[in-house]
């Protein structure tokens, strides 16, 4: 029984690690995509949401793994 419990605990841990990795990869893709969309917005649209072109340039040069919300 002890061996079976250890195997189950290891499997649960492995599933958790894989799930966390998939979540992180998905988040990084979202950040990359959002930054691309932000870069493609017109100056008028940026003004509407309270951002300048300089704000956007600062954001889009950040690496995809640089998550300001630490998700």
Render pLDDT for 2-57 as a digit per residue (tens, 0 to 9): 667 776 778 888 899 999 999 999 999 999 999 999 999 999 999 999 999 999 99
Q: Where are the alpha helices (DSSP H) in 1-71?
A: 2-39, 43-48, 53-60
Radius of gyration (C-alpha) of the chain in whole angstroms? 20
| Residues 51/34, Cβ–Cβ less than 8 Å | no
On the CB side of 6, CA atoms within 13 Å amount to 3
pTM of structure: 0.71
What's the pLDDT score for residue 22?
Answer: 97
């Amino acid at each position: 029984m002890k061996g079976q419990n250890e195997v189950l605990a290891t499997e649960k841990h492995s599933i958790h690690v894989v799930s966390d990795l998939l979540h992180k990869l998905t988040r990084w893709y979202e950040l990359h995509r959002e930054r691309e969309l932000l870069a493609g917005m017109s100056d008028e649209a940026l003004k509407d949401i309270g951002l300048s072109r300089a704000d956007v340039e600062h954001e889009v040069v950040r690496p995809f793994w640089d998550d300001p919300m630490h998700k």
